[in-house]
Structure 1
């Protein structure tokens, strides 16, 4: 699917590149929601800006930079997903998105401000069940609040077709969605971060009773090692089993000198783990509802941690 260079020969109302840069947080969020990859999202946004510069050099007048760039990013995301299908089908173990990490207790860096609570790990995993176009339509409408006319323009479909696509996608996502991705009020966010602190302290201390008191009975533990690092082979769905796995896992990494610090992971409470040299060993995010932890997402695949800095080898599997 091509970028929209031919669609924008209208009366100019756009500013310069400095103005366009103000849209980077939104564009990153759209691209990340499409791909689940921080690196790919950043590449797509950069490609969209290169396309904008190329169109300008060719004499195209861009009437609405935001609409032009959002359209380019969405269409590039659709193309990326189509080419990534085979890689996803051969992925070793459970697939989780690359984590977006922000400091705990704060609003987070400006470049990820548009993410808020809308693109959680669980939500992005659900989007994997959609086709590339379904994902684009659903995300633009559900997450970013685009009207159907705008969704149709961005995706190159008719408005009627977009309504049909959205209805099908929403039904599919709703069947696996535990709770809606609603923005988290500051007070509830603070309570969630405090629960996360107590949770990881209890796991590190081996306090199974305390852990069980913080876990939902049907809690799910997800792990993504990508066949390159130690992770559970399939999701664990029993609270007792999850608690034991967490205690054993934290005891093992503690013996290797791994420490953790609070963070917000895709808008949710979590931690980033580092080895003794300060390298990233893993990222763990929590889903919380009604005062208990309903899901735990642990990413140890080194390929999905590189955007956070040097990656540790404490969990890495030997080369086959």
Structure 2
């Protein structure tokens, strides 16, 4: 069956397709569903006798448009979201590497970057992700989005202005040397927090550091971002102390390509995921996800942080 062979050969594009879908939606589960739907569309096209000259472009276009449609409806739900919204974390650890497409994504889309993208409309977000992260040229952008090249140029310029207005940049992937430095800083940070060393922890926080927690109204988390190093430090030290008293453990992990940690309860179930955004040798942002709906792709989720229904 030539059609089946073509679809099988196209499976190598999954890492790219997952990255596009995740960049547009900020959701691991939705991205996986969108990629699956795109492949189903390719299979149906082959079964109908349609010749697909460029499967990669066909699939990328399908994923982009499905992502835009999904995000348009998801935005309505996010308007009523309880507390701060963070993307579902992509976690890579030595004992749980996860799917290959997740690992390949890691250095491309940090939480800080994905949070910035929330300021964009669905079409702006798709254009910005394809251009900024995947270096799509304008003819390919036009094909993927169904817009004209001129329109894509305008959309990208508008999106870039809106992102730049935030003042925190686009958080490009760290070079290998900075990645190693970040890992070491994260190790010292979690060690200081675990030991209750507030002064040592404060020395690693940038003056403009911000802590953002996402419990989605279902798990314990700060409802609003917390700024100012001393407040962030106290919050983090207190949180580590509480989970330790409950028998939980922290394991280092790479979260969206940035150093972080996963908290597990005594039964090995996931409690929360923390990502550290490090720049210029200091921690500028801490993102913590405890919403159980955003952790289920990592395995069994603990009730430890869950709020009473």
Question: Contact 1:103–1:263 at 8 Å: present in 2 too?
Answer: yes
Secondary structure at the aligned position of 1:93 is classed as coil
Unaligned runs of 5+ in 1: 1-11
Query: Structure 1, residues 163-201: CA drift from partner, whole Å, max 9, x if none?
Result: 000000000011114133323222211111111011011
State the partner residue of 1:46.
Answer: 36
Counterpart position of 2:45: 55
Task: Tell me the CA shift for residue 276 of structure 1.
Answer: 0.1
Separation (CA, whole Å) in 1 of partners of 2:5 and 2:161:
40
Q: Partners of 1:318 and 1:105 in 2: how far apart?
A: 32
1:131 is aligned, of 121, 140, 150, to 121
Question: How many Å apart are 1:113 and its aligned residue?
Answer: 4.2
Gaps of 5+ in 2: none
1:247 counterpart (237, 243, 247): 237
Query: Pairwise mapping of residues 89-128 of structure 1 onto structure 2 (< 5 A)?
Result: 89-103=79-93, 110-128=100-118
CA distance in 2, matches of 1:21, 1:290: 39
Aligned residue runs from structure 1 range 1-320, under 5 A: 16-103=6-93, 110-319=100-309
Task: Tell me: CA distance 1:15–1:150, structure 2 relative to 1, closer, same or farther (3 Å).
Answer: farther
Preserved contact between residue 116 and residue 166 of structure 2 (Cα < 8 Å): yes
The separation in 2 between residues aligned to 1:105 and 1:176, in whole angstroms, is 37
For the 8 Å contact 2:92–2:103, the answer to whether it is kept is no
C-alpha contact 2:209 2:228 (8 A) present in aligned 1: yes
Query: 1:114 offset after TM fit, Å?
Result: 3.9
8 Å contact kept, 1:105–1:190: no
Residue aligned with 2:223, SS: coil
CA contact (8 A) 1:99 1:304 kept: yes
- Relative to the length of structure 2, the TM-score reads 0.96
Q: Say whether the 8 Å CA contact 1:123–1:177 is kept in structure 2.
A: no
Deviations 1:262-283 (A, max 9, x none): 1000010000010000000000
Q: CA deviation at 1:256?
A: 0.5
SS in 1 for 2:72: helix
| Contact 2:90 2:106 (C-alpha < 8 Å) held by counterparts | no
The 3 A distance-change label for structure 1 pair 70 and 19 is same
Query: What secondary structure, in the 3-state scheme, does the structure 1 residue paired with 2:22 have?
Result: helix
Measured after TM superposition, the shift of residue 103 of structure 1 is 1.8
Give a deviation string over 1:123-180, Cα, whole Å, max 9, x none.
1111111111111111111110000010011100000000000000000011114133
Classify 1:21/1:75 alpha carbon distance in 2 versus 1 (closer, same or farther; 3 Å): same
Contact 1:211 1:243 in 2 (8 A): yes
Runs of 4+ with deviation above 4 angstroms: 104-109
RMSD across aligned positions (CA): 1.9
Residue 8 of structure 1: aligned partner: none
